[in-house]
Chain A
Amino acid sequence: MTLSETFRTLGWLVRDTFRQSLAYGIFWLLLGISVLCISVCATLHVSGSVALDQGDGRDFLPRNDPDARDAAKAKASGVAIVAGEMSLAFGAIKLPLDRDARDAVHFVELVLAGGVADTLGLLLTLVWTAGFLPGFLDGRSVSVLLAKPVSRGTLLAGKYLGVLSFVLFHSLILVGGTWLVLGCRTGIWELAYFWTVPLLLLHFAIFFSFSVLLAVCTRSTVACVFGSILFWCVCWGMNFGRHAVLAESYEPTHAAIAGRAVQLVEAGYWCLPKPADLGVLLYDALDAADSFGQLAAFHSVQSHGDFHPLLSIAASLGFMLLLWVAASRQFAAVDY
């Protein structure tokens, strides 16, 4: 096959994945979640915000601070008192502002990026897309495709790219839609919020590779669903464990115990994908430190210079590549 024919074939396989997602109803499920999030954002309103980002070095006090009770005194000394509130669902839910409107929008975007997209959305998407490959690889349907001039590697890559495109499409709708609506409602346009899309896609791509390997080996949706979630949990545990053990090892009293454990967890950490590190990267990319506290162990590892974002991503991608090689070799060798 020529390069253009290969691209054309990949295009058809991507298109087929979208049609499959429409038929399975997964397209509409994810779209429903995005529309719900966009609708919630459309009802957001911020009132009484005090501008705190003017670069004039003005201090501010939250309204419940004892010193803020004397508003006249505070005003005279150039201290702003935060007295605004954020409302959702057209005023049904009201939350006092901790800082200003920008901070409130940032908080909502962090919840959407870290909670909805990168945790709940990722796991749900892993579960919902787990049936795509086993359905495609079913012996009765794939045998006709295997008798076409397209190589098995291209077939597998096409479906994989199809699922990634599907996730990219929906993450763009979620992030782009909420960003647009929040911007229109508040006039605050946080471009850093878009870091969610590539990081979520990378996160998904790594763990979906494991699902692909399971699909090729077992052709079972159940194995793919439970296997990929279990694998994510194991990787998250190993990732968190490494940071926790390392943080512990910084304490002089625990150095002897931690010293042995560190070698073990370091080996596991560098071998496996690192979902928690991707969370840390998202946390940093979105500048979440003002709104959410970081886990103490993660903070400790970062402050000791033992967190290497690029190496972490490279190692995760390396593992993904290994999974891919294993899946393609297995698919190339399997008999139907």
Chain B
Amino acid sequence: MNTSQIAEFENVSKLYGGGLPGRAPVRAVEEVSFAIPAGEVFGLLGPNRAGKSTLVKLLLTICHPTSGRITRLGRAWDDRRTLARIGYIHESQSLPRYLTARGLLEYYGALAGVRPLTIRRRSAELLERVGLADRSREAIGRFSKGMLQRLALAQALLNEPDVLVFDEPTEGMDLLARRLVYEAVREQRQRGKSVILVSHALGDVEQLCDRVAVMREGRLAYLGPLAELTWDAARGAKRPLEQALESLYEVACP
């Protein structure tokens, strides 16, 4: 058990479907092995259907590995207690529209194992922070998309997580919500906590991440510091991340 790592994947593969006759299984992740050390902002990059979100879902038990071994915060994958130390947002998240903002934080906080008094204190703080304090008793069905995204961020931060997992967090976000995500990531880093960031927004990755893993067709194409990925050794200069990724994809899948 290695507690200095927030996640460890060992020969992890994931096949979807294939249960029905005539439907071939889809290989989302294939023989992936890597570890994410604690205390850093770790980016998961890759084109669509590269397996990034599947890796996150595997880590959070939202889906099950077909083979391989996963450890989370130094404990076995099926030890759900470690999930209490994680905050999670994903891009297409849908929140129950019949709840009020405060009601949602109370409900999700209770399911995350946060104590009632802490929920009350943190809810007030977070609603203030994401600019929803004055609408905390309103049904969130009336909220705009940006407001819902800010509320989703508040629910992810409610348990003061050791690891924040953001799956495409800034996709379609308004400026305020995007700024709040940036703040949350930076604050997490300052506190010595970890962030896993899955993103297509290369600007976000360049600004926030220390290390990255690049996925391509379910396989790991690169793992290392972001600075190393963007360093063009031939020219002896830094290159844009987009260009670095393109050349990496060509090498990985010519």
Chain A interface residues (CB < 8 Å from chain B): 1, 5, 8-9, 12, 15-16, 19-20, 22-24, 138, 140-141, 143-151, 333, 335-336
Residues in B whose Cβ lies below 8 Å from that of A19: 96, 98-99, 103
A144 to B93: give the CA distance in the assembly, Å: 8
Tell me if B24 counts as interface (CB < 8 A to partner A): no
Tell me if B64 counts as interface (CB < 8 A to partner A): yes
Give the interface residue-count category, chain B.
35 or more
Q: Which of A12, A143, A147 has the most CB of B within 10 A?
A: A147
Given A148-B83, A150-B111: A141 and B94 within 8 A (CB)?
yes
Q: Which of B16, B82, B99 contacts A335 (CB 8 A)?
A: B16
Residues in A whose Cβ lies below 8 Å from that of B103: 19
Q: Which of A12, A20, A336 contacts B111 (CB 8 A)?
A: A12
CB-based contact A146/B108 at 8 Å? no
Chain B interface residues (CB < 8 Å from chain A): 16, 57, 60-64, 80-84, 86, 88-90, 92-99, 103, 107-108, 110-113, 139, 141, 152, 155, 165
Residues in A whose Cβ lies below 8 Å from that of B152: 144
CB-based contact B62/A335 at 8 Å? yes
Report, nearest first, the 7 A-B pairs whose CB atoms are least far apart: A23-B98, A335-B63, A140-B94, A147-B60, A149-B84, A141-B94, A149-B83
Residues in B whose Cβ lies below 8 Å from that of A140: 92-94
CB-based contact A148/B111 at 8 Å? yes
CB-based contact B110/A12 at 8 Å? yes
Q: What's the least CB distance linking B104 to chain A, in Å?
A: 10
Number of A-B contacts (CB under 8 A): 84
Residues in A whose Cβ lies below 8 Å from that of B112: 148-149
Q: What's the least CB distance linking B226 to chain A, in Å?
A: 26
A-B contact pairs, 5 of them (CB 8 A): A20-B98, A141-B96, A144-B93, A149-B111, A335-B62
- Identify the closest chain A residue to B116 (Cβ): A8
Residues in B whose Cβ lies below 8 Å from that of A143: 57, 62, 90, 93
Residues in A whose Cβ lies below 8 Å from that of B139: 23
Given A20-B96, A140-B93: A147 and B108 within 8 A (CB)?
no
Given A19-B103, A22-B98, A151-B80: A146 and B113 within 8 A (CB)?
no
CB-based contact B94/A138 at 8 Å? yes
Given A19-B99, A145-B108, A149-B82, 20 more A-B residue pairs with CB atoms under 8 Å apart are A9-B111, A12-B107, A12-B111, A16-B96, A140-B94, A141-B94, A143-B93, A144-B88, A144-B108, A144-B152, A148-B83, A148-B111, A148-B112, A149-B111, A149-B112, A150-B80, A151-B80, A333-B64, A335-B16, A336-B62
Q: What's the least CB distance linking A24 to chain B, in Å?
A: 8
Q: Which of B61, B94, B113, B141 contacts A147 (CB 8 A)?
A: B61
Residues in A whose Cβ lies below 8 Å from that of B82: 149
A147 to B83: give the CA distance in the assembly, Å: 6
CB-based contact A336/B81 at 8 Å? no
A272 to B96: give the CA distance in the assembly, Å: 35
Residues in B whose Cβ lies below 8 Å from that of A150: 80, 111, 113
Residues in B whose Cβ lies below 8 Å from that of A24: 98
Q: What's the least CB distance linking B254 to chain A, in Å?
A: 32
A146 to B111: give the CA distance in the assembly, Å: 10
Q: What's the least CB distance linking A19 to chain B, in Å?
A: 6
CB-based contact B107/A16 at 8 Å? yes
Q: What's the least CB distance linking B145 to chain A, in Å?
A: 13
- Identify the closest chain A residue to B103 (Cβ): A19
Q: What's the least CB distance linking B73 to chain A, in Å?
A: 12
- Identify the closest chain B residue to A19 (Cβ): B98
Residues in A whose Cβ lies below 8 Å from that of B141: 23
A23 to B140: give the CA distance in the assembly, Å: 12
CB-based contact B61/A146 at 8 Å? yes
A59 to B82: give the CA distance in the assembly, Å: 76
CB-based contact A336/B96 at 8 Å? no
Q: What's the least CB distance linking A243 to chain B, in Å?
A: 40
- Identify the closest chain B residue to A155 (Cβ): B111
A5 to B89: give the CA distance in the assembly, Å: 24
Residues in B whose Cβ lies below 8 Å from that of A16: 96, 99, 107
Residues in A whose Cβ lies below 8 Å from that of B57: 143, 335-336
Q: What's the least CB distance linking A68 to chain B, in Å?
A: 60
Residues in B whose Cβ lies below 8 Å from that of A23: 97-98, 139, 141
A9 to B139: give the CA distance in the assembly, Å: 22
A319 to B92: give the CA distance in the assembly, Å: 38
A86 to B109: give the CA distance in the assembly, Å: 56
- Identify the closest chain A residue to B28 (Cβ): A335
Q: Which of A15, A145, A149 contacts B113 (CB 8 A)?
A: A149
A19 to B61: give the CA distance in the assembly, Å: 27
Given A333-B64, A335-B63, A336-B57: A8 and B110 within 8 A (CB)?
yes
Q: What's the least CB distance linking B60 to chain A, in Å?
A: 4
A169 to B112: give the CA distance in the assembly, Å: 28
- Identify the closest chain A residue to B79 (Cβ): A149
A26 to B113: give the CA distance in the assembly, Å: 30
